[in-house]
């Protein structure tokens, strides 16, 4: 993973140095974004008190698609759809607890959709970075739908170790925040790198038991933003 981050940093440095200067004002423009990257569990309990989600979940993959609108020169409103997935490691069996009757799934996989609405605030006026390099921060909220499946993403949902009548899935409210930077290649296209944090309010004692608490995820994405004057 260190190698991936090293190549990413070098790429962004080269792009930033080579980016020409363009007028930054994107107010009243529609933006479309595509990105992908890495997802990592930051915190959150699992089914057994000896293990957290970060103990049992490997690094995963995240994809994102967004549509935004510039309300002012530096403030945008963006609607996003995210999809993330990750495999579990060998600690999964211990993380579900010592019950010998629980059917341990093959290739258990965590999958999550996120439907978000967030603000995007560009920091050029504050940081004085010029018009071709645009740092930004994001804050938002959304609905997250997650599940743990047997045999990969398309497999069946596994039963909850705490309540066999329920499967491991839930749709929950969540919050998100992020920090990123755009490097403008043309007046209407930018390469964007961003880090973000998602907090999913997944706590459900009836379905998952008392140890499966709210979940936090970090992700690092790289993608493209396109801007269009629609009206």
Tens place of pLDDT per residue across the chain (231 aa) = 444 444 444 444 433 333 344 446 778 899 999 999 999 999 998 999 999 999 999 999 999 999 999 999 889 999 999 999 999 999 999 999 988 889 888 899 999 999 999 999 999 878 877 778 999 999 999 999 999 999 889 999 999 998 888 999 999 999 999 999 999 998 889 999 999 999 999 998 888 989 999 999 999 999 999 999 876
Q: For residue 142, what are the contacts with CB-CB under 8 A and spacing of at least 6?
A: 80, 114, 115, 116, 117, 118, 173, 174, 175, 176
Q: What is the CATH number of the domain that holds 111?
A: 2.40.160.20
* Helices vs strands, H then E, count in the chain: 5, 10
> DSSP string covering 70-90, please?
ESSSSEEEEEEEEEEEEEB-T
Structural domain total, the chain? 1
pTM, full prediction: 0.85
Domain containing 210: what range? 2-228
112 to 24, 61, 62, 124, 222: CA distances (angstroms): 34, 11, 9, 33, 19
First and final C-alpha spacing in the chain: 43
């Amino acid at each position: 993973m260190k190698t991936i981050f090293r190549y990413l940093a070098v790429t962004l440095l080269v792009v930033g140095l080579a980016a020409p200067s363009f007028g930054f004002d994107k107010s009243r423009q529609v933006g479309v974004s595509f990105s992908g990257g890495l997802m990592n569990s930051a915190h959150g309990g699992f089914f057994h008190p000896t293990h957290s989600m970060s103990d049992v979940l490997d690094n995963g993959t995240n994809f994102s698609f967004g549509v935004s609108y510039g309300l002012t020169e530096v403030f945008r409103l963006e609607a996003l759809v995210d999809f993330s997935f990750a495999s579990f490691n060998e600690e999964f069996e211990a993380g579900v607890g010592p019950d010998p009757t629980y059917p341990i799934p093959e290739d258990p996989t965590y999958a999550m959709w996120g439907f978000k609405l967030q603000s995007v605030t560009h920091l050029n006026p504050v940081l004085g970075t010029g018009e071709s390099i645009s740092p930004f921060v994001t804050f938002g909220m959304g609905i997250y739908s997650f599940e743990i499946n047997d045999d990969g993403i398309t497999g069946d949902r596994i039963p909850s170790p705490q309540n066999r009548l329920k499967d491991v899935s839930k749709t929950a409210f969540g919050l998100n925040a992020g920090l990123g930077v755009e490097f403008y290649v043309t007046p209407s296209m930018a390469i964007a790198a961003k880090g973000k944090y998602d907090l999913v309010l997944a706590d459900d004692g009836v379905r998952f038991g008392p140890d499966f608490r709210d979940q936090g995820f970090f992700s690092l994405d790289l993608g493209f933003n396109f801007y269009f004057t629609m009206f």
